[in-house]
Amino acid sequence: MNPFLTVLTTPVVPGNRRIYQRMRSALRPLVKSGAPLPATSPYPGHYALTRSVVEGLRQLDADFNFNPRTLGEVARVVYAPANEALRQAADWKRTGRIDCLVAGPVNALSPSEDGGVLMLPEIDCLIVASNWVRDLYRDSALSLVAKCRTCPSGVDAVAWTPTASAPSGRAVVFWKSGPESQCLAVERAVAQQGWDPVRIRYGTYNTTTYRKALDGAAVAVFLSAFETQGLALAESWAMNVPTMVWNPLTRTEWRGWSFTAGSSAPYLSEATGAFWQSLEELDRALARVRIEDHSFRPRDWVLAHMTDAVCARRLFTTIEEVSRVAVVQ
């Protein structure tokens, strides 16, 4: 019997194509002797989201399968957070092969992005990472608003566990947006508080480097024009590092789409850090960390609200609710 849900990030290929792929794999060692096999990801698609969803659902022992090889193994409800798989599942929905199709939050942000994939009429539910993204569609694609459900992605709270027993004299400066002059000004502000700034440049670091920088850091300062969720923030919190987040709330752009940013940290709380806009506000926030470092409890917050299992439970419950309506319709 098929499960309730299929998580699909890789399209199901026809039987003759699977045979060809198996033959090619079998012949490769003979044709290209000694050549390493192409690297394959255990979580195809958006790695961080797919990993969190799959591992969270496994921890819950949920009734689902992940990237089945044959169409016969596909459930009647499909969650497809990858565009090629989403378009295939939309075809299945049109022909009645499945009953309910869920997308998001990483298929696209703009309603016109990737050929307007978010606007496929077969989509019953669009997962968004935070409420401000749903509100963004009120001006750009009102028809999407009713389909939106907010479900953030989780973090692996075991992998992102601090090993340092006490805060060090280090502060992480996570630079994603804004000019380098702003980043340098932030690093000077951090140094004036007595911490050694460690710069993490978005797009140039790996997980090991980032985790090592966070481990034992007293604070992290984030420079990003907007975040739909901010997984790097959650990883900082899991490492028990409070974050001081630049939150400009200004007009910004994403792949040619101009909009007003709703937040640079949608899930920031009193337990995890504070917002700032001016350098004066940052100075006060950093001074608070210096004086009141025990008032923040970022890791406790993550364990309660943003682990893989917590977020997967919310997603699974949401999909159950949406699927009941879709089947009735």
pLDDT digits 0-9 by tens, 168-179: 899 999 999 999
Same domain, 14 and 135: yes
The stretch 38-67 carries a mean pLDDT of: 94
Q: Is the previous residue joined to 105 through a cis bond, with omega within 30 degrees of 0? A: yes
Q: pLDDT band at 328, cuts 50/70/90?
A: low
Q: Round to whole Å and give the CA distance between 220 and 241.
A: 7
Which domain range does residue 300 map to? Answer: 170-305
pLDDT category at 3 given cuts 50, 70, 90 is very high
What DSSP state is assigned to residue 295?
A: G
pLDDT computed for residue 227 by the predictor? 98
Domain count, the chain: 2
- Which of 162-166, 190-194, 294-298 has maximum average pLDDT? 190-194
Q: Is residue 159 part of a domain?
A: no
- Assigned domain for 252 exists: yes
Q: Is residue 164 part of a domain?
A: no
Buried b (16+ CB within 10 A) or exposed e, 28-60: eeeeeeeeeeeeeeebbbbebbbbbbbbbbeee
Residue 17 has pLDDT above 60, yes or no: no
Residue-level pLDDT at 272: 97
Same domain, 124 and 253: no
Q: Are residues 117 and 214 in the same domain?
A: no
Give the C-alpha separation, 7 to 17, whole Å: 21
Q: Specify if 163 maps to a domain.
A: no
CATH number at residue 70: 3.40.50
252 and 300 together in one domain: yes
Q: What is the pTM of this model?
A: 0.90
- What is the pLDDT of the chain when averaged over all its residues? 92
pLDDT tens-digit readout, 263-288: 999 999 999 999 999 999 999 999 99
**Residue 143 and residue 272 in one domain:** no
Residues 52 and 133 in one domain: yes
- Is there a domain that residue 162 lies in? no
Q: Is residue 160 part of a domain?
A: no
- pLDDT for the residue 26: 46
Identify whether 44 is part of a domain.
yes
Within a domain: 107: yes
* Res 27 pLDDT > 60: no
**pLDDT score of 20 more than 70:** no
Do 125 and 183 sit in the same domain of this protein? no
pLDDT in the model for residue 19: 46
pLDDT category at 164 given cuts 50, 70, 90 is confident
* Residue 12 clears pLDDT 60, i.e. is over it: yes
> CA-to-CA distance for 325 and 187, rounded, in angstroms?
51
Q: Rounded mean pLDDT of 189-208? A: 96
The CATH number of residue 248's host domain is 3.40.50.2000
Q: 298 and 322: one domain? A: no
Contact 171, 249 (CB under 8 A): no
Same domain (yes/no): 208, 286: yes
Identify whether the C-beta of residue 173 lies closer than 8 Å to the C-beta of residue 187: yes
